[in-house]
Chains A and B, each alone.
Chain A
Amino acid sequence: MVTPPQRTEPTPNTPPPARAQTNIRNRHRVAAVAIAVVLGVHLAAMFLWISPRTPVTDAVDAPLRAYALPMFQQSWSLFAPDPVHAAYYLEVRRVPQDLSETPWVSASAVELAGLHHHLLPTTATNITNKTASLTNEALNDLPDDHKALFTWHFHHDVQTRLISEGLDGQNPTTQFNRAMTVDRAVTAYATQFLSAQGQLVEGDLVQYRILRVSSPDFADRATQGVSQTVSFTSGRRPPEVLPGQDVEAFERALEAFS
């Protein structure tokens, strides 16, 4: 590839040439002023959008969101105000018809195999971590008594019975609907994962749980290691397959992690 000379880039040794060398007209200058104004307004909006919350940003929150989202969406929660010091992992298991105990299988560990000792890991190593975090958030948005409903065992018609039996037929709140959506999605993931692993047989139920893996404090690093605690265990669910699920592509992806 070859480089043609462009318009001169002023450097300490090459000051901009005089105006006489150019053919600039007033319409060009008007356009430049217009571009500068647009840029100024945009940068002012970005300054407010990016900065920590202030009374000014609160006052213009609605128009600011309308302008910045979704193209200039951003989040630095991974690093600030405190860096990430915990992650949520997903574990699943099949429950045979006799309801006997089976071992938990870590779906997150399968993804992590694609991360460890890989200099260029795939984006997909974070899916169950994200899903587990979402599930945790959705459940923690509920009052304790409503959260407890998701530990109930339903062997059929999960969502209908969560409302009719759990809420006594009351209209679910937005948060409850969100938790039901997430519960269904994680159950569908667990179904795919166990099927892909060849573990799920006809008549089995599935169950999932969320693990919180957290770092010790720096001061305790000599005496404590990474801790793992069960954050939530769901009730038993019938296998869930959502429309359009590509079972073979899911299997191929899991194989590609190893």
Chain B
Amino acid sequence: MTDTPTHTEAQRPAQGAARQTAQQIREALDAVLTHRYGLWGASFLRILTGATLLVQLVVNFPFRSYLWGPAAAWSQELHATAEFPFQRLIFGPTVSATSVTVWYVVLIVAVGCFMVGWHTRLATALTLVLHTWMTFSDGIYLDQSDNFVRFVLVYALGMCTWAHWSFDARRVARRQAAMESGEASAFTRRWSHVKDGMEPYVTALHNAALAGLAAHICMIYVASAMFKIQGDRWQNGTAVFSPLQIPHFSPFPELSTLATMWTLPVVVATYLAVYAQLFFPLMMLHPVLRKVGLVAIIGMHASIGVLMGLPFFSMLMLAGDSIFVSSRTYQRCDNAIRPVVNRVTARLRRIFRRGKTPVRAATPPGATSSQPSDGRSPAQPQAPV
């Protein structure tokens, strides 16, 4: 077998490449098991989605029965197909007014908890279940904002949306401080140990959910653009004109008239809407283009929200887009806002005679504390407030 050594030599580079690939895969897997990406964006997603839902629920409160209760009993036969079991158990045209009101208030509370990040995972699940139950219960009304928020909440269930600007974050900081000072109870220590064991799984789930939502939003935008370019009015640059003439999509007729008075803005807005959506995923890959893309999308949604009278749809879409804003931008905002918040909080505490200083942060077990972009020293654990 004179050719054996030659054959082995030929295999060496291939084996080396295979080992290198295996190592790269291993490192990639370790990265998604140890690093939670986009935590700031996920936290802002929680706040904006929660705030939008909360305002929408409050605005709809006087109409809860007309939409999802016995005032809509006239529509009870329109939606015969049941998508979910017990679809009309707590909301719906055949349910009592008391049930609708009680569960509506529970939903408001759940959304409030979700927004401020108080027992966030549970609040997210409760919001998802109740919101889905409510919106599917009626005979006729289910719009795109309901659909969008539903699958955002599905992804948010897997994400660590509580990581920043939340009560859960404060609770973790307190627990960590107690652990490090040795003041934690035996139960807290045991619970922390269990949670530490779950960390890699939770981290992987967070990253997957975040990537899933990002990909889903990109697909929505690209598909939406592809649907649009099939239409004549999008092709000839006049698409934004038509809806703004219909009273239902023109809450401010004066603004609509102004916006569609000249040809050039109509054509530019029409094409910008298509291009911003079509190239959205590509623009997210480059730091400068990402800013351009996000500004274009924000402009598009702001226009839809105000001119077409769809503010909740627009705000929810923007909440989804917020995961594409870089963590550094959020950290800068946090650095700018936090002193103001701390001053206000301190003043309020003085007013209420509590007079304690706010806790900054503590490092969870096994985690590496992040170095803020402005060069501040990493946060030190402090005593809980």
Chain A residues within CB distance 8 Å of chain B: 1-14, 16-17, 19, 21-24, 28-29, 31-33, 35-36, 38-39, 42-43, 46-47, 50-52, 69-76, 78-87, 112, 115-127, 129-131, 134, 181-182, 184-185, 188-189, 191-192, 213-218, 221, 226, 240, 242-246, 249-250, 252-253, 256
B169 touches A4 (CB 8 A): yes
Complex CA distance for A187 and B161, rounded to whole angstroms: 47
Chain B residues within CB distance 8 Å of chain A: 26-27, 29-40, 55-56, 59-60, 62-63, 65-67, 69-78, 80, 83-84, 93-94, 97, 116-117, 132, 136, 139-144, 147-148, 150-151, 154, 160, 163-167, 169-170, 172-173, 176, 200-201, 203-205, 208, 211-212, 215-216, 219-220, 223-224, 226-228, 230-234, 236, 238-243, 245-249, 251-253, 260, 266, 306, 309, 311-312, 326-328, 334, 358-364, 366-371, 373, 378-379
Question: Whole-angstrom distance from the CB of B158 to the nearest CB of chain A?
Answer: 9
Question: Whole-angstrom distance from the CB of B26 to the nearest CB of chain A?
Answer: 7
B78 touches A4 (CB 8 A): no
Considering the complex, give the chain B residue whose CB is closest to the CB of A10: B35
B245 touches A3 (CB 8 A): no
A1-B246 in contact given A81-B234, A244-B94 (Cβ < 8 Å): no
Residues of B within 8 A of A120 (CB): 55, 59, 311-312
Residues of B within 8 A of A6 (CB): 36, 39, 160, 163-164, 364, 367, 370
Complex CA distance for A118 and B139, rounded to whole angstroms: 25
A123-B63 in contact given A4-B363, A7-B34, A9-B39 (Cβ < 8 Å): yes
Number of cross-chain contacts by CB at 8 Å: 352
B373 touches A11 (CB 8 A): yes
Considering the complex, give the chain A residue whose CB is closest to the CB of B372: A5
Residues of A within 8 A of B248 (CB): 87, 112, 115, 125-126, 129
A119 touches B243 (CB 8 A): no
B31 touches A83 (CB 8 A): no
Residues of B within 8 A of A38 (CB): 208
Question: Whole-angstrom distance from the CB of B221 to the nearest CB of chain A?
Answer: 10
Residues of B within 8 A of A122 (CB): 59-60, 62-63
Residues of A within 8 A of B78 (CB): 131, 134, 181-182, 185
Question: Whole-angstrom distance from the CB of B52 to the nearest CB of chain A?
Answer: 10
B143 touches A123 (CB 8 A): yes
Residues of B within 8 A of A50 (CB): 216, 219-220, 223
B266 touches A123 (CB 8 A): no
A4 touches B76 (CB 8 A): no
A4-B243 in contact given A80-B228, A242-B73 (Cβ < 8 Å): no
Is the contact region of chain A dominated by helix, strand, or loop, or is it mixed? Answer: loop
Complex CA distance for A127 and B75, rounded to whole angstroms: 10
A126 touches B219 (CB 8 A): no
Complex CA distance for A192 and B65, rounded to whole angstroms: 14
Considering the complex, give the chain B residue whose CB is closest to the CB of A226: B245
B239 touches A82 (CB 8 A): yes
B75 touches A32 (CB 8 A): no
Residues of A within 8 A of B40 (CB): 9
A118-B165 in contact given A28-B200, A131-B75, A244-B73 (Cβ < 8 Å): no
Residues of B within 8 A of A78 (CB): 144, 243
A185-B74 in contact given A5-B361, A126-B143, A218-B241 (Cβ < 8 Å): yes
B144 touches A5 (CB 8 A): no
A70 touches B84 (CB 8 A): yes
Complex CA distance for A189 and B220, rounded to whole angstroms: 36
Residues of A within 8 A of B326 (CB): 11
B67 touches A7 (CB 8 A): no
Residues of A within 8 A of B163 (CB): 3, 6
Residues of A within 8 A of B176 (CB): 4
